[in-house]
Amino acid sequence: GNSVTQMEGPVTLSEEAFLTINCTYTATGYPSLFWYVQYPGEGLQLLLKATKADDKGSNKGFEATYRKETTSFHLEKGSVQVSDSAVYFCALSLNSGYSTLTFGKGTMLLVSP
């Protein structure tokens, strides 16, 4: 079946530190890959996506590269801010036409000043 595995949280960093949140996947086809972010009290928001191997998704300073050879889609940011504190979800979709997403458990990021 399809599944997504993310590193356990919380991840605690100081402002301006480098962030990596690991994500690996198992899929029966060629998925699209996503990172969603959930800020406190809000819904999940699409942060970035990549639809094929070697694509790099980027948004708000965050990046993730679709690595087919390692089945990974790790999220990175060079310098985090306090406002980046949120829960980050890695997800995949097999483009069934109705965009059914398979999510990871989510990783909480806490950034302190």
Partner 1 sequence: EPEVTQTPSHQVTQMGQEVILRCVPISNHLYFYWYRQILGQKVEFLVSFYNNEISEKSEIFDDQFSVERPDGSNFTLKIRSTKLEDSAMYFCASSGDDNEKLFFGSGTQLSVL
Give least dist CB 18 to partner 1, A: 27
- Integer Cα distance of 16 and 94 in angstroms: 35
Give least dist CB 112 to partner 1, A: 24
Point out which residues bind partner 1 (CB under 8 A): 4, 32, 34, 36, 41-46, 49, 51, 89, 91, 93, 95-106
Give least dist CB 73 to partner 1, A: 14
Whether 6 contacts 22, CB under 8 Å: yes
CB neighbour list of residue 41: distance below 8 Å, 6 or more residues apart:
none
Beta carbon nearer to partner 1, 107 or 111: 107
- CA gyration radius, the chain: 13
